[in-house]
Amino acid sequence: MTDRAQPDRVAWFRKMVEIRLFEEKVQELFMSGTIQGTTHLCQGQEAVSVGAITAMREGDVQTNTYRGHGEALALGMTPETAFAELMGKTTGCSGGVGGSMHLIDSSKGNLGANAIVGAGLPIAVGAAVSFQVQGRANVALTFFGDGATNIGTFHEALNMAAVWKAPVVFIIANNLYGEYSPLMTTTPIADLARRADPYAFPGIVVDGQDVDMVHAATVDAVERARRGEGPTLLEMKTYRYRGHSRSDPAKYRPDGELDAWKGRDPIEILGAKLASEGVLSAADQAAIRQELQAGIDAAADRAAAAPYPTLEETERYVYA
């Protein structure tokens, strides 16, 4: 793993575009039947994945959710490996038996996605406590949604992390919706960061569309944890462009809401900054998109050409 503490905003731009294009292709492959099952896209939330993951250092770990393609790619999983997993191929990160909701690579600090809402939080606290026991100056991050803050494990994990000053950073991707429920119908407060208050550690609201803000807030939280000062709850205000999962047309959203959020697109926000700073012109950005699109298409083709596991291989993971 490389040292991600050095800000390389062109690399961030590239990674956010890669995630966006990867998921565009995933949607296409679902529609054509090449990918089966289900998938949960994180389009619109790329700055949360990239800004936070790039605050990690060698030996740090994270857990995430079924909406975790962004974190997996930001941690260095190749699109080919991720496509292969989604397609159920042996070259996938879990040999093709996990699928979209189970992208994992512990060699890169990715302790995995979890399909159970809220289940990744206690795993991250456990990893953080293991760092304390081993005397390692490492930190565990955990990504989850706004809906997960109403799950029991959220409160148990925050409480335990607070009492033990565990080096963990809790990251809410608040995209305003649970599966189909607007946050305001399930939750009595608007700023979920306040849910750190009863556990007596900092809870911070962050503009989740601005990767610079996400990164800066996560670096602060990670360094605080590394100093032994305990956990932080970061609430990233963001939005998912697509429905909850592949089969959800998201008709429950008010007219104009999606367009308003697309007006603050995370890739465009960083792209505009890089252009005005003279770092990356609009033409450079278009060339990057073209290059990455070719890479994504080729990666999907290679994944599609890989073999499916044999019956014996799939049975190896079944307890009987």
Positions touching Mg ion (CB under 5 A) are 145-146, 175, 177
243 token code pair = 């429905």
x-or-dash string of contact with ligand TPP, 298-317, rule CB under 6 A: --------------------
**Residue 67 touching ligand TPP (CB under 6 A):** yes
**Residue 288 touching ligand TPP (CB under 6 A):** no
Residue with tokens 């991050």: 141
Residue from 8, 28, 58, 179 binding ligand TPP (CB under 6 A): 179
Q: Enumerate residues 243-272 that contact ligand TPP by CB under 6 A.
A: 244
**Residue 23 touching ligand TPP (CB under 6 A):** no
Query: Taking the complex as a whole, how short is the minimal distance between the CB of residue 118 and Mg ion, in angstroms?
Result: 12
x-or-dash string of contact with ligand TPP, 130-159, rule CB under 6 A: --------------xxxxx-----------
Q: Are 80 and 303 within 8 A, CB to CB?
A: yes
Q: Are 162 and 200 within 8 A, CB to CB?
A: yes
Buried b (16+ CB within 10 A) or exposed e, 195-208: bbeebebbbbbbbb
**Number of residues engaging ligand TPP in binding (CB under 6 A):** 14
Residue 261: which residues within 8 A CB-CB, separation 6 or more?
A: 44, 209, 239, 241
**Residue 25 touching ligand TPP (CB under 6 A):** no
Q: How far apart are CA 261 and CA 209, in angstroms?
A: 9
**Residue 177 touching ligand TPP (CB under 6 A):** yes
**Residue 100 touching ligand TPP (CB under 6 A):** no
Q: Judged by CB, which is closer to ligand TPP: 39, or 138?
A: 39
**Residue 9 touching ligand TPP (CB under 6 A):** no
Q: How far apart are CA 95 and CA 318, in angstroms?
A: 14
Q: How far apart are CA 178 and CA 53, in angstroms?
A: 23
C-alpha distances out from residue 23 to 19, 34, 135, 309, Å: 6, 14, 39, 24
Q: Judged by CB, which is closer to ligand TPP: 179, or 291?
A: 179
Q: Judged by CB, which is closer to Mg ion: 127, or 173?
A: 173
Supply the DSSP symbol for 308: P
Amino acid letter, 296 = I
- 64 interface partner picked from Mg ion, ligand TPP, none, CB below 5 to 8 A per type: none
Q: Which residues bind ligand TPP (CB under 6 A)?
A: 67, 115-117, 144-148, 175, 177-179, 244
